[in-house]
Amino acid sequence: MHTAKRTHGFTESVIRGMTRLANEHGAINLAQGFPNFPAPDLLKEAAIAAIRADVNQYAITWGAKPLREALARKMQAFYGLAVDPETEITVTCGATEAMASVLLALVDPGDEVVVFEPWYENYGPDAVLCGARPVHVPLPVGEPLDLDRLARAFGPRTRAIILNTPNNPTGKVFTADELAGIAALCQRHGVYVLTDEIYEHIVYEGPHIPIATLPGMAERTITISGASKTYAVTGWRIGTIIAPRELTAAIRKVHDFLTVGAPAPLQEAVAKAMDELPREYYTGMADAYRRRRDLLCGALTTAGFRLVPPQGAYYVLADYSALGSEGDVAFATRLVQEAGVATVPLSSFISDPSASRRVRFAFCKTEDLLEEAAQRLLTFAGR
């Protein structure tokens, strides 16, 4: 049977694979990053109201006007960034479609795309889908960005760099100096920044700085975010793209042909959340995540894992060398079977899996579930 060559290098998503394994074993799923707590009532009521009002047909392909306008107001309020909702915003089916649409719209076959390693699972396959070549730059956990190393990755074929801050899976929040260094390189080489800021409001050591706010960067930055993490609705699939007018025109065409549009009633609800949830919602959410982070990181350390506490996002990479000598896929499998806790092996996020002795824990869970996971891990470790 024939299948297209572009798919041959792809493997099944390890994140989703671990979720299935967790379900088979009744394990606590700290693998796939989705919250187990409710979304804000305001958001849910607004979605119900929109469906009752029969907002059931296609929204405008590039996004319902109330959502684009609410996002423009939010970017102004949080970051002082002026965005034109008519020409510079596209709403997509999650940040995942956003990144794919942006790459397909801006990158040609043969172009190079710089990707930090470890990376989020999708970036490599996204680049491959457009015939581009991902160029990996190591970004070790807990270390500052090595700008000289990054500079060496830029060449005549470099079209774009993918940035993800706060970062999945490392928990890094890029500093102002690091972002300025990246910005200078991109300006010198005429390179676009594709920045995935889906964890923008989940920051412990910040602030979160959108690279689009740096001088001269809005014109070469494509900012991706969405409702999934900020409002605990990963299944709603509402993503957003902010890009300069000419780039947006190309991105909207790709998005239209891929998916036509994101769910119309849910766009109305996210617009209302952006407009009406107070600042305390966002600070309260970050505080709650900080407590979850401290709970899980404390338990992991007691159990014998080694880690650097994340500065943002809701994942922690933990070294298990004191608890096992096998490779990380084998260890993650054993952790599901023997401890009843599911994780993602780091090898899913790096190019040389053989050396990895780390797994990723997601802590976007209620404290009682994290306490239960902590107990299981301590028992597993014999502590």
Report, in Å, the least distance between residue 33 CB and ligand GLN. 3
Report, in Å, the least distance between residue 352 CB and ligand GLN. 20
Looking at beta carbons only, is 64 or 95 nearer to ligand GLN? 95
Q: Which residues sit at the interface with ligand GLN, rule CB under 6 A?
A: 15-16, 32-33, 168, 362
Tell me if 137 sits within 8 A of 185, measured CB to CB.
no
Helical spans, DSSP H, in 165-317:
176-189, 227-230, 245-259, 264-276, 279-303
Closest CA to 315 of 334, 331, 292: 292
Tell me if 320 sits within 8 A of 357, measured CB to CB.
yes
* 172-189 b/e (C-beta count within 10 Å ≥ 16 → b): bbbbeebbbbbbebbbee
Looking at beta carbons only, is 15 or 212 nearer to ligand GLN? 15
Tell me if 351 sits within 8 A of 136, measured CB to CB.
yes
Contacts of 347 (CB under 8 A, 6+ apart): 14, 327, 328, 329, 353, 356
Report, in Å, the least distance between residue 202 CB and ligand GLN. 12
ω into 265 cis (within 30 of 0): no
Looking at beta carbons only, is 128 or 313 nearer to ligand GLN? 313
Q: Is 309 helix (H, G, I), strand (E, B) or coil?
A: coil
Q: What residue is closest to ligand GLN based on CB? A: 33
Residue pointed to by tokens 């709603």: 236
Looking at beta carbons only, is 15 or 98 nearer to ligand GLN? 15
Looking at beta carbons only, is 88 or 97 nearer to ligand GLN? 97
Report, in Å, the least distance between residue 51 CB and ligand GLN. 25
Report, in Å, the least distance between residue 149 CB and ligand GLN. 25
Looking at beta carbons only, is 11 or 57 nearer to ligand GLN? 11
Closest CA to 206 of 165, 147, 163: 165
Report, in Å, the least distance between residue 234 CB and ligand GLN. 7
For residues 305 and 320, give the distance between their C-alpha atoms in angstroms, rounded to a whole number: 5
Looking at beta carbons only, is 316 or 362 nearer to ligand GLN? 362
Report, in Å, the least distance between residue 313 CB and ligand GLN. 9
Contacts of 60 (CB under 8 A, 6+ apart): 261
